Amino acid sequence: NSFSNKCLVCSMNDLLSQLVFLFIITRHLQHQIITRPRIMMDSSLSDTPCEVREGFILLGRKGVYKVEKFLGEGSYGKVAKCKKLGTDQVVAIKIIWGSGQMEINALEELSQINADDHNLVKFVESFKYKKYTCIAFEVLDQSLLDFMEKRDFHPLTVEEIRTIAWQLIVALKGLKSVNLVHCDIKLDNIMLVDQVSEPFRVKLIDFGLAEKIGHMRTGATMQNICYRAPEVILGLPLDQSVDLWTVGYILFVLYTGSFIHGWDADYNILRAMVKMQGRLVEDNIPFWSCDQLIHSCLDKTKIKEVEQFVDLLKRMLMVDPSKRISPSEALQHPFFTMGRVQPTAGTHTTNPEEPPAVEVHLQPEAKEVTNTPQRPAAVSQECSRWRNLVSKNFETRWELSRGQKLN
């Protein structure tokens, strides 16, 4: 009992208790991995090709839409750019073979709050077309994954990451206000609104796996494996802190331009998590730890900002979910409040929590993509795409960080 209590109150600075906590639970993991429940897909799903074609007319409850072109395709169906007839409105319609009821339920819950103020995709309506479910959203620019691919995963600046981080945490605060957990946050599901006119303004999309807080089953497998929180891997009780972990990890990836290596097994993921937190792991896999982010900072005038960023990351990436920082607490972190610039006079701000705009250092050509459906918790090609594209500069950045640390 004494040992159990120590595990519950372990801190990131206590290496011994942290590793013991992981060791004991991972021994239990091999028995849970086969038997624990998994999120089930809609039984009505099929691999039948979508019958909707360009030029088709879709009759919604709030209007009539003409399919202009398809923006993306996934396991559940397609996403089409559609024109609302009789108006200038253009929407993105997600065409699903299946009920899509989980996503519709989540979107109805989210209708209680302002989508723009909370950086969530704007829901227009849902309706049926033959055997398909159609969900209409606002049209957005491109996903963060597409954006990073275009720049060969060159890391973002601290200023750019601060802007994205603020918006994502505000989104989590909005989700928490209606007792929802996204459960599938990843770079594919974070969209740039319009990178040319509103640099690094982002919105969270795809609520097909969203769960009500309190309805999350202990041991359920969720989240793409690239972003999976430790409590999901270990089969422990779940709550909204799984989203906080994922956002923290995404910020880490955006700053380093690198994914954790070795996503083929849960055990390897846990080892990488320990390394990311700066713990000693005896292997030869080069990988960034949070503390190494400070040593890799080339602009010495930014050291203080990077230190605050690292402190926020550590609080978001606590292995013990009960010790993780909350969205409200995160928004008050010095990373956001330190030297905050007030909006200039006459600047129109729809969101009172919106941070100052940042200078754009690199603007790849926009690519029109939106809310492309994904198979739940599937191991998509995303991890391998990241590994292939960052391999060109990963070793150089790793050696640079090591050299600066030695100096």
Q: Which two tokens stand for residue 154?
A: 């060159």
Is 184 known to be catalytic?
Answer: yes
- Three-state SS at 405: helix
Q: Which two tokens stand for residue 209?
A: 């796996």
H or E element: which one contains 5?
Answer: helix 2-8
As a whole number of Å, the end-to-end CA separation of the chain is 45
Do 179 and 259 sit in the same domain of this protein? Answer: yes
- Three-state SS at 115: coil
| 407 residues of the chain, pLDDT tens digit each | 554 555 444 444 454 445 444 544 444 444 443 334 444 334 344 445 578 899 999 999 999 999 999 998 877 789 999 999 999 999 999 999 888 999 999 999 999 999 999 999 999 999 999 889 999 999 999 999 999 999 999 999 999 999 999 999 999 999 999 999 999 999 999 999 999 999 999 999 999 999 998 888 887 777 887 888 888 888 888 999 999 999 999 999 999 888 764 455 565 666 566 655 555 444 443 444 566 665 555 565 578 899 999 999 999 998 889 999 999 999 999 999 985 643 333 334 445 455 555 544 444 443 444 444 343 333 345 444 444 444 444 444 444 444 444 44
Q: Cα 297 vs. chain centroid, distance in angstroms?
A: 24
Please tell me the predicted confidence (pLDDT) of residue 60: 97
Closest CA to 371 of 44, 17, 77: 77
Range of the domain at 214: 142-341+350-406
Do 83 and 204 sit in the same domain of this protein? Answer: no
- Domain with residue 81: its CATH number is 3.30.200.20
Distance CA 233, CA 189 (A): 21
Tell me the HSE value of 104 on the side-chain side, using a 13 A CA sphere: 15
Please tell me the predicted confidence (pLDDT) of residue 355: 57
How buried is residue 192: exposed, middle or buried, by Cβ count under 10 Å (0-12/13-18/19+)? buried
73, 97, 122, 318 from 67: Cα distances, Å: 14, 17, 19, 45
Give 311-339 as a DSSP string. HHHHHHT-SSGGGSPPHHHHHTSHHHHTT
Do 183 and 317 sit in the same domain of this protein? Answer: yes
Radius of gyration of the chain (CA): 21
Q: Which two tokens stand for residue 229?
A: 């929180």
In a domain, 190, yes or no: yes
* Residue 94 assigned to a binding site: yes
Number of structural domains found in the chain: 2
Torsions phi, psi for 144 (to 5 deg): -65, -30
Please tell me the predicted confidence (pLDDT) of residue 142: 96
Please tell me the predicted confidence (pLDDT) of residue 16: 44
Do 128 and 152 sit in the same domain of this protein? Answer: no
Do 291 and 392 sit in the same domain of this protein? Answer: yes
Do 112 and 229 sit in the same domain of this protein? Answer: no
Do 180 and 131 sit in the same domain of this protein? Answer: no
Distance CA 226, CA 374 (A): 14
Do 383 and 250 sit in the same domain of this protein? Answer: yes
Do 210 and 232 sit in the same domain of this protein? Answer: yes
Do 283 and 336 sit in the same domain of this protein? Answer: yes
Do 204 and 249 sit in the same domain of this protein? Answer: yes
In a domain, 193, yes or no: yes
Please tell me the predicted confidence (pLDDT) of residue 267: 55
Please tell me the predicted confidence (pLDDT) of residue 404: 46
In a domain, 27, yes or no: no
Do 249 and 294 sit in the same domain of this protein? Answer: yes
Which member of 47, 88, 141, 184 is catalytic?
Answer: 184
